[in-house]
Chain A
């Protein structure tokens, strides 16, 4: 019997995938731009993100049985243009997989292992993700279901322990200056939510028909917005917006300061280690999707890419090489994290892919 990805697995995958950019990008970016209004930015981002999810699912409904985003794009633009867009998308997926490997390494280096070279973490995670990328997509979705409870429990514990430490003056009053940056802060939250919706599309080829419905996915999207809002609330409420904006990983700095039940403290190493799960899932999923996209477009010229056993290690090697070469130091990683990656994500998610699909729909190709 062919097993397919269920709606519950899809919802869990959305939430787990969201966790990596949620901690990396959103808190400090929103604190810098929206200040005390950072939690509001996350809540406001829910509405455009829900609209985006609706459109994505409408587009996904146009696919045929077993088709993924790549095949749909090629049907929408069957010529060179479509292949070029799909190659670009494949390259972007590889870049993102490499970036996730590098930022995961940075998380370990900054919070737990300061003197360790990034290559150690990058290569270890690349090897683990490669092994997982050989498995069917439904394996990744099942992993998400397994990862969700421990990660959600830790999040609940940490945010719950932080709530009594909130300082009212760090969050209120919301003056005109806070609202001034709200738009930019909302863009930061939207970037995270839109990225996670886009990442869900990579699971489409094995998704059960009807599982990816708007009503069913709206709940995890709302949970994701709520999580971002809670992160903003707790971090800005505890540290204040200026300090939160200056920290690289404010969530883990918060974990570093928490004492549970007056006896358990300094558990940040465990929490950081837990964030391997989302990184692992993203890297494996993106490697597999990149391989699929590149084999659809370049397999004729590069027959190597048609064979998954060779193409996947090549993709993993390319992602690891990108991770090590593109961001050799913290400053270049910060540029990628705060500038290039969010901008490229918004371009692919909101402009390029929807544009091609829209054009294909207008010409009645899909």
Chain B
């Protein structure tokens, strides 16, 4: 229905959050409704922040980059990879091809992990507990694969400057385990996706609700699969040199509703398995890291990467001792949720919450205490934040 349905005044406001079982993390949603139909919505995303940028300021680059993993528990690898990538680009560090392949394998496994959590969460918000449980059961297999490569289930710490950690190399045993388990997983995920798509009760809920048109997706910069489900075919992986050897499809759908956002992720999961299979098949021999580089002063360096939820931006500089200066990170949820503010208009109230969940929001990554005043960015200090809290802001 989109923006045209916005009205100046609604009958009733139903505020939801900060604490709510359908919100995995705290944010405030104010739904302005007439009967059960949402005529306007307003989201506030800033109830808390971690202060990652502040913590990293002045840290040695090796130590600091590890903290980027803590931005998100689901896509921790991609944050570390992008931070590392920004420094590698700035210092012109050459990364061995084998390391790039391992990074790609981890990123795609993480995409599978993230998309399955998404499917579990979406079906839970739908009220379909069984499909939620099944998605979590499937996810366990992927967690095992992540564990096989990295030795950890959540924070994998695979990339380091110049390559990947020695413990994360893929030997013969790991290779055969990955290949065998992936083949089974591909069938299971396909079956799961078919089951969801062919369930008329689930389809009746997700089809036609939360429509985000292509124009709106572009206007609000809806990132990753959220934008692609609305027909905006942007996928940074197609531009990344690390992915140039892999053949995969960018999943672009047209309807832009909740169904397409769910289906896009299910299909992307299959594409992710395709990429991993290709990477395992053609895993190059050779070193996994290049340690012949010198840490020195680095001007601002930036890197963009395609995370499971969409585009991630990292930028930082290094001083002459190799310490981090002005680290900045932007995650996809900010624009994704902003787009959902529009997409939920015209939905039933219950579907409105589903629309919010359909963009796969991750507030842990998103909340930043950065304001832009008079065109100049400002990072809040601890004292600033305390002062704001005291003033009730």
| Chains A and B come from one and the same complex | no
